[in-house]
Structure 1
Amino acid sequence: MTVLASAESLLMHKLASLILAACLLLPANVHAWGFTGHEYIGATAYEYLTPQARRWVDSHLQRLDETSLASATTWADRVRGTEEGRFLGPLHFANIPPDEQQIDMQRHCPNRRCVVGAAMNALDVMFDPQANPTAQADELRKFSHWITDLHQPLHLGFARDRGGNDTYVTVDGERINLHRVWDSLIIERKELPAPAQLAAQNPLPESTEDWYEALQLWAEEANHLAREYAYADLEPGDELDSAYLIQAKQVVKEQLTRSAQRMAMIINAAAAANQ
């Protein structure tokens, strides 16, 4: 009986280890925009691409066995729980202190270890005609995620509550953290137009000459939206009323659109730089 019990204990231990390993390979429960939001942005961005840029994107993503730009946007979340995913963890967000209005790359993003710096690192490779094509493809895939994360306001939120993850509110009687409200709940409750329709209704704005400066400005824009609309005057435990949710839906739609447009503008420019 002792031998049997020992063998049984060993078996249970191995089973528990396998279950734990499997769980570590699963994506985390909360991602910026959720998979649906990321894929929607990627699909919409593809609608904005020039024919040249589409060929550039398609050929690069084939190297990584990614079926589309939409699917590529979720990669950085798909690998959460892996060693690479854990290394990339700090690159999904950036924090600007409540008493500051601008991002200081030296203090808030040292060594580019934040979402803004990660996007900049991707640009370094994407715009380099001499870059290895596979490395360029990898950075393109990463960039498609960083640019979408950068537009979710609470990914530019405050460190004190981990971008809303530690602030719990109530929606229709359900206790939920504020980050998830903006990541997924708003999108789940909002009917979005088809990507082609959204792109047709919202032409690309004028391009810029400095994409690095633009990334910082967009991060500060997202932080401003977090302050004004996500955090607003909320206290932990507050019930989010209809006025809050209506305003949040409008902000989310605008940020989804901006994210798709800006992703497309940068990819268009990168593809042109590689010709």
Structure 2
Amino acid sequence: VWADDILYPNTNPYGYPNWQWSRPLHYINTPSWNCNYDRLRDCVNDVCVAGALNNYSKRAIAADFDDIQHQEAIMFLVHYVGDVHQPLHVGFQEDRGGNSVRGKSLFLNSKQE
């Protein structure tokens, strides 16, 4: 949640500066016409959750980083591991991470026949 909270000034209770630059690091967009992930096509300059996992894994153990920098890297890393396991965080750009997908709610009656 921390990495989501710091994205926008109005939801940032920690007083961090503007972290909107990290928004594309939470997901991977793939073209709808091709149901696979291609790093060169879908994660240009490592600006996606896969690139973030790689980057923050290295930062978490970087010898020239102090404890605060290591802690921040681990916080991002843990968050992005969660993000990459969200089914709609890796998907088609056209459906905006699943936000444009319309589905039907199914409520089961307690008295099933």
TM-score normalized with structure 1 length: 0.34
Deviation of the 1:131 alpha carbon: 2.8
- Contact map agreement 2:27 2:49 (CA 8 A) in 1: yes
2:14 is the alignment partner of 1:87: no
2:54 to 90, 95, 120: 120
Match of 2:79 in 1: 145
Q: Which runs of 5+ in 1 are unaligned?
A: 1-73, 172-239, 243-275
2:4 to 52, 71, 77: 77
Q: SS in structure 2 opposite 1:118?
A: helix
- The amino acid that maps onto 2:3 is A
Distance in 1 (alpha carbons) for counterparts of 2:5 and 2:72: 14
- The amino acid that maps onto 2:87 is P
Q: Deviations over 1:86-114 (max 9, x none)?
A: 21111111022233343222221111111
2:95 is the alignment partner of 1:161: yes
Distance in 2 (alpha carbons) for counterparts of 1:96 and 1:105: 10
Deviation of the 1:118 alpha carbon: 0.9
Q: Which runs of 5+ in 2 are unaligned?
A: 10-17, 109-113
Check 1:104–1:128 CA distance in 2 against 1; reply closer, same or farther (3 A cut): same
Q: SS in structure 2 opposite 1:121?
A: helix
Deviation of the 1:169 alpha carbon: 2.1
Check 1:161–1:101 CA distance in 2 against 1; reply closer, same or farther (3 A cut): closer
Deviation of the 1:241 alpha carbon: 7.4
Alignment of 1:93-242 (within 5 A): 93-171=27-105, 240=106
Deviation of the 1:148 alpha carbon: 0.1
Distance in 2 (alpha carbons) for counterparts of 1:112 and 1:145: 17
Distance in 1 (alpha carbons) for counterparts of 2:35 and 2:88: 15
Q: Deviations over 1:119-160 (max 9, x none)?
A: 111011123344322211111000111010000010012111
- Contact map agreement 2:95 2:101 (CA 8 A) in 1: yes
4+ runs of 1 displaced by more than 4 Å?
none
Choose 1 or 2 for highest CA Rg: 1
Alignment coverage as a number of residue pairs: 100
- The amino acid that maps onto 2:74 is L
Q: Deviations over 1:201-257 (max 9, x none)?
A: xxxxxxxxxxxxxxxxxxxxxxxxxxxxxxxxxxxxxxx577xxxxxxxxxxxxxxx
TM-score normalized with structure 2 length: 0.76
Distance in 2 (alpha carbons) for counterparts of 1:121 and 1:132: 16
Would you tell me which structure has more helix in proportion to its own residues?
1
